Amino acid sequence: MRLRSALIATALLLPVALVFGVESPADAAARASVYVYSPASSTVRVRVSEGPNSECDSSQNAMRYDGPIQSGQTLKVPIFGPCVCVSSTSTSFPDSEWSQGQRFCPASAYGYDKFARRRLLPSDFTVRLDGR
pLDDT digits (tens, 9 = 90+) for 10-23: 444 444 343 333 44
CATH number for the domain formed by residue range(s) 26-128: 2.60.40
pLDDT at 74 > cutoff 90: yes
pLDDT tens-digit map of 81-124: 778 899 999 888 888 889 999 888 765 555 555 555 555 555 67
CB 4 within 8 A of CB 34: no
| Domain definitions of the chain by residue range | 26-128
pLDDT of residue 114: 55
| Residue of 50, 53, 18, 21 whose CA lies nearest to 33 | 50
**C-alpha span between 20 and 22 (Å, rounded):** 6
pTM across the whole model = 0.67
Query: Residue 65's closest CA among 94, 104, 36, 32?
Result: 36
pLDDT-derived band at 30 (thresholds 50, 70, 90) equals low
Q: Report the run of H or E that residue 28 belongs to, with start and end.
A: helix 25-29
CB atoms within 10 A of CB 127: 18
